[in-house]
């Protein structure tokens, strides 16, 4: 309730809530608190069912009236103690974020030593430590399987972590850097700059770099376009550049698919792959173990 666009809405919610409570109390006391005067008969509302079943204007049972009052006052006390009236933080100052941070701190104090003891070990030796790999596999299952799959073989647009193909380098420190700080792989869209024929021919030439069959008539033209527009990132031989995250086009590994259609789609519309940073979320100790586990998958 704290993220209002202006103070007006905070006051609007608070005042509306208070007026509602006053209205509920007034209605409860005025109507629900009525008692039948001595000697007065209960009025019929004029509705009859099954010949002799009459709807009568009986006062509400006392237990119902008292329960309604209790729940109303309980709601008022709750909104005094906890947030709910606009931007009012509540007398106790409780918040979801505060509770989350307290739970995270308690968990870090309890489980932190488990991760910290591996921090002094280098990643290559840690990748051979059975205990560290067990911890790393659990971290991977929790934080990484959504994108890379439970078997770490990835999916279209999400890299396979079990092969030797790495966009930003597969040595231990590069893997740790990737997890810590994240990566953003950007493939520029060329559809507005080069013709459809040039894109088609370039796609055919790229297929030959990876040993795939291609249209012979398009290869020479595609090579020329590739040298002009693509080699600056992917290299003249198409082997990529880990400094830029430019993929190697001379192997048989394709992040978004190696068919002519998919390659044309990549050249025309570009690609934008994002690996989110985990430094602030996990901390270095957990990332250290996780990097060692990921490194072990392909080594």
Instruction: Note down pLDDT in tens along the chain; length 299 residues.
Output: 456 677 888 899 999 999 999 999 998 888 777 777 777 777 788 888 888 888 887 877 888 889 999 999 999 999 999 998 888 899 999 999 999 999 989 998 998 999 999 999 999 999 999 999 999 999 999 999 999 999 999 999 999 999 999 999 999 999 999 999 999 999 999 999 999 999 999 999 999 998 888 889 899 999 999 999 999 999 999 999 999 999 999 998 999 999 999 999 999 999 999 999 999 989 999 999 999 999 999 98
Output the pLDDT for position 4. 61
- Quick one: residue 235, left, alpha or beta (phi over 0 = left, psi -120 to 50 = alpha)? left
Tokens of 121: 């070990």
Domain 109-182+276-297, CATH among 3.40.640.10, 1.10.760.10, 3.30.230.10, 1.10.1200.10: 1.10.760.10
For the chain, where are the alpha helices, taking DSSP H only?
Answer: 7-27, 62-81, 96-116, 123-126, 130-143, 145-148, 172-181, 196-209, 216-225, 231-234, 260-269, 279-282, 284-297
CATH of region 185-275: 1.10.760.10
d(CA 54, CA 139): 67
Question: Which sequence spans correspond to the domains of the chain?
Answer: 7-81, 109-182+276-297, 185-275
Helix axes 96-116, 284-297, angle to 10 degrees: 60
Output the pLDDT for position 2. 53
Residue with tokens 């006051």: 11
Question: Is the pTM value of this prediction over 0.75?
Answer: no
β-bridge mates for residue 271, sequence order: 187
- Quick one: residue 157, left, alpha or beta (phi over 0 = left, psi -120 to 50 = alpha)? left
Tokens of 170: 């597969």
């Amino acid at each position: 309730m704290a993220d209002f666009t202006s103070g007006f809405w905070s006051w609007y919610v608070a005042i509306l809530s208070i007026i509602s409570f006053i209205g509920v109390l007034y209605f409860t006391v005025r109507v629900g608190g009525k008692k039948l005067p001595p000697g007065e008969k209960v009025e019929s509302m004029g509705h009859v069912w099954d010949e002799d079943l009459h709807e009568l204007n009986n006062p509400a049972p006392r237990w119902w009236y008292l329960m309604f009052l209790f729940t109303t006052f309980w709601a008022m006390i709750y909104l005094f103690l906890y947030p709910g009236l606009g931007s009012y933080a509540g007398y106790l100052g409780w918040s979801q974020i505060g509770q989350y941070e307290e739970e995270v701190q308690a968990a870090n104090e309890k489980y932190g030593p488990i991760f910290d003891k591996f921090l002094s070990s280098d990643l290559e030796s840690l990748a051979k430590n059975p205990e560290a790999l067990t911890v790393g596999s659990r971290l991977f299952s929790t934080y990484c399987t959504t994108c890379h799959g439970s078997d770490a073989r990835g999916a279209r647009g999400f890299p396979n972590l079990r092969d030797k193909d790495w966009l930003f380098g597969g040595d231990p420190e590069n893997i740790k850097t990737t997890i810590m700080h994240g990566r953003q792989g950007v493939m520029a869209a060329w559809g507005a700059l080069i013709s459809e024929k040039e894109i088609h021919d370039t796609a055919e030439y790229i297929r030959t770099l990876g040993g795939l069959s291609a249209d012979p008539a398009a290869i020479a033209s595609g090579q020329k376009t590739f040298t002009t527009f693509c080699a600056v990132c992917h290299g003249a031989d198409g082997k990529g550049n880990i400094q830029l995250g430019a993929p190697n086009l001379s192997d048989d590994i394709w992040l978004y698919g190696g068919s002519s259609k998919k390659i044309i789609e990549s050249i025309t519309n570009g690609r934008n792959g994002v690996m989110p940073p985990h430094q602030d979320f996990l901390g270095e100790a957990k990332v250290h173990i996780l990097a060692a586990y990921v490194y072990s998958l392909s080594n």
